[in-house]
Amino acid sequence: MTYGKQTAVKHALGIYLPSAVCFELFFGFELEMRKIMDYEKNQILTVEIVDMTAQGEGIGKLDGFPFFIKDALIGDKAQIRVTRVKKNYAYGRLEKVLVPSPFRINPRCIFHKQCGGCQIQALDYEQQLCFKESKVKNNLVRIGGFAPEFIDKIMDPAVGMENPFHYRNKAQYPIGTDKEGSPVAGFYAGRTHDIIANTDCALGVEENKEILEIILSYMKSSHVPAYNEITGAGLIRHVLIRKGFQSGEIMVCLVINGKFSKIEGQYLPAQEKLLGSLGKIPGMTSISVSINREKGNVIMGKEIHTLWGSSTIKDTIQVRDVDKDFETAGWGITFAISPLSFYQVNPVQTEKLYSLALSYAGLTGKETVWDLYCGIGTISLFLAKSAGQVYGVEIVPQAIEDARKNAVDNGIGNAQFLVGKAEEVLPKKYKEEGISADVIVVDPPRKGCDGACLETILKMMPERVVYVSCDSATLARDLKVLCNGGYEVKKGRVVDMFPMTIHTETCVLLSKLKSTQHIDVKIDLDEMDLTKAESKATYAEIKQYVLEKHGLKVSQLYIAQVKRKHGIIERVNYNVGEGKAKVPQVPLEKEKAIEDALRHFQMI
């Protein structure tokens, strides 16, 4: 279902919905025109859900007063319990769906509410695609400053999955102990470290269940303790499972809290017993341990020891023909994957996403291409088959080693991989060696591109820039910079890499503007540097981020105080009054939330 069809369906339901600036239209600046009503915690109310936030929460309204309700879907009529009340909005817990939305379905997983991993599993899959398209378009309009009509024109329909379950080739299960003292595996409940025991996740491969049950049985029979986050005692912390969808090869890596024995090669009690059981599973290729003695949220340790089989598994990403509804093109790239390798978790959609990026690059075999944030070379090697020369840049040395090995294994000689930050390597090669670029591909982390990286792209001015994004908010921010620097967005498309969740990937093509007239422009580097430019995010955008993520409403005064604290110069000194009244200072809780927003927008 397209974005336009979604809007038509909403109107058919009798629901008035805002456009891309829905947040501002919902809440206004201070909701001055609405009737203020008193709401109390634990109050039971009935609301109709008229929209959903970017985090997948339902939005209900009573007399213009908005409520955010987890697990509520657009079109629901719901009974809610008020959980928190603020001046201009409130939060509620879904108590009962009185009239279900026409888009509500029965979730496949009984734990989907507690787990928090599948935020929108109860939403019909076609509507999930509509939700994600709308989310991306709203950010491009609201943050990027593009006209809604333009975005509707250049965006192609979202690329979904025929089977949006069991798509993850990687899963990391925390191991703990239940109230009876038995070992359990599962996932953390939302915003906690409480393990929900579940060995059969609907998003993981079917082999996960058998592997986990073998490990739990081994732990129980051999009296192997699970790691305790509070005391730091216990041995097994997590289990990492990876599977090659094309190869069928399976990897198991147990994350342990140190070595069990001083004997060489013995890392687990009754180690051979476990290896013998796991080794019988069809496709088992690699069994290893990762030693992590650190306290904290980092799952994998840096020390890996192979106990059985190979140190890596292999998988192949097939190239697909974008113009023929993503039919297989007949060739692909094979990758060696270690426990620490970054490799997209949805191989089916990865083939479509990377093939789309290859199509957007428009290569003829002569171009010099830069692939920034290249990981183990997945996109780079796709491009190398059709380019003259490819340079891949990645900050993780192990990833670059993997990329170089993958190039050799695939017989690719025109790809060079460099270790370092993209924002440092690219300018250096451009300035010192004069290496140019016909096409630049960026696939940055969630925080988006670094300011120096964008600055260098604008200096090099390649004919095309292909931007692969996992966060449409930072995508919109960076597109705004590139378009202000001489590029235009030609096309874009959402690729649903993470069905049942609120997350998605977007691929965008930018082309250099053509002009017969030229002027010389002096570029102020401070204005180009996203870590210094105050114009990077507006006050309204910062307010919205803080409200949506932290549930706090902050004033322009508070934002200005925090910005000044971090050396961001304001045109108006909001900390200085006229001597008539004491200026209120930002509370610590709101200061921390604003700082989080400034980091999100790369202003500090």
Catalytic residue among 109, 453, 470, 507: 470
Q: Which one-letter amino acid corresponds to residue 47? A: V
d(CA 220, CA 216): 6
DSSP label of 192: S
d(CA 64, CA 516): 52
Question: Could you tell me if 477 and 469 are in contact, meaning their C-beta atoms sit under 8 angstroms apart?
Answer: no
| Contact partners, residue 38, CB within 8 Å, separation at least 6 | none
Dihedral sign (CA 138, 140, 145, 146): negative
Lookup result for tokens 């393990």? 195
d(CA 494, CA 506): 4
Beta partners for residue 155, in sequence order: 492
Among candidate residues 467, 338, 354, the one with its CA nearest the CA of residue 399: 338
Q: List alpha helices for 143-240, DSSP H.
A: 148-154, 207-221
Residue length of the chain: 604
Question: Could you tell me if 276 and 215 are in contact, meaning their C-beta atoms sit under 8 angstroms apart?
Answer: no
**What backbone phi and psi angles, to 5 degrees, belong to 359?**
-65, -45
Residue 548's H or E segment, with its range, is helix 539-550
Beta partners for residue 290, in sequence order: 255, 304
**Active-site residue, 253 included:** no
Structure tokens at 232: 């730091």
Neighbour-count burial of 301, counting CB atoms closer than 10 A to its CB (0-12 exposed, 13-18 middle, 19+ buried) = buried
Among candidate residues 73, 78, 70, 81, the one with its CA nearest the CA of residue 103: 73
| Contact partners, residue 466, CB within 8 Å, separation at least 6 | 357, 360, 361, 439, 440, 441, 442, 507, 508, 509, 510
d(CA 184, CA 176): 5
Question: Could you tell me if 51 and 22 are in contact, meaning their C-beta atoms sit under 8 angstroms apart?
Answer: yes
Q: Which one-letter amino acid corresponds to residue 71? A: D
d(CA 555, CA 586): 9
Neighbour-count burial of 344, counting CB atoms closer than 10 A to its CB (0-12 exposed, 13-18 middle, 19+ buried) = buried
Q: Report CA-CA distances (Å) from 438 to 357, 495, 577.
A: 15, 25, 53
d(CA 61, CA 67): 6
Among candidate residues 489, 437, 433, 492, the one with its CA nearest the CA of residue 459: 437
Tell me the HSE value of 48 on the side-chain side, using a 13 A CA sphere.
10
| Contact partners, residue 563, CB within 8 Å, separation at least 6 | 534, 570, 598, 603
Q: Catalytic site residues? A: 470
